[in-house]
Amino acid sequence: MNIIFESANIDYIRPSMDLVPDYLDMVNDINNVARFIGERREPYTYEEECDYIRNKMDEGATMFSMIEKKTGGFIGNVEFFNRSADEAEWGIVITSGMQGKGYGKEALTRSVEYGFNELGLSRIYLSVYADNPRAIHVYEQCGFTEYDRNEVDVFMEILKG
């Protein structure tokens, strides 16, 4: 396992085919995870997830799997996507069993630092479903501010400096 960066309780590694079963468990958890990451409601197949991860690996995506230092257990993924010049969109997904333990806030804080200092970003933005107040609260605690909103989504950003 090649650690790209770390925080107090999390090691951040590149996506791995070895983690496909963990990814599948996470993205196919319709009630606790999937409803916050997209519109798809039918389960992903093993082959679809393998193709997705293979594509992420081939394109050199700035995606990282989070591994709990204490147990070596899978926590979830963070990613900087839609990168252009000095800005990128940020996203996170955490398995239902690891939610509510502070990993989201820790991952957000550390990956924003990584984005600014290692990737040279000056703006990181995200969108979150308006009916996800728990996530919005964490983003605000970490310095993100709302810059737009519609009936479905809240758009937030943080600027370097």
> Domain containing 62: what range?
3-159
Contacts of 27 (CB under 8 A, 6+ apart): 33, 34, 37, 44, 49, 93
Whether the pLDDT of residue 131 is over 70: the answer is yes
pLDDT in tens, 72-115: 999 999 999 999 989 999 999 888 899 889 999 999 999 999 99
pLDDT in tens, 39-82: 656 788 899 999 989 999 999 899 999 999 999 999 999 999 99
Query: Predicted confidence band at 37 (pLDDT cuts at 50, 70, 90)?
Result: low
Q: What's the domain count of the chain?
A: 1
Q: What is the pLDDT of residue 95?
A: 87
| Cα separation, 49 vs 54, whole angstroms | 8
Please give the DSSP secondary-structure letter assigned to residue 43: P
Contacts of 140 (CB under 8 A, 6+ apart): 156
Q: What is the pLDDT of residue 33?
A: 57
Q: What b-and-e string marks burial along 52-82, b requiring 16 or more CB atoms within 10 Å of the CB?
A: ebeebeeeebbbbbbbeeeeeebbbbbbbee
- Domain at 152, CATH number: 3.40.630.30
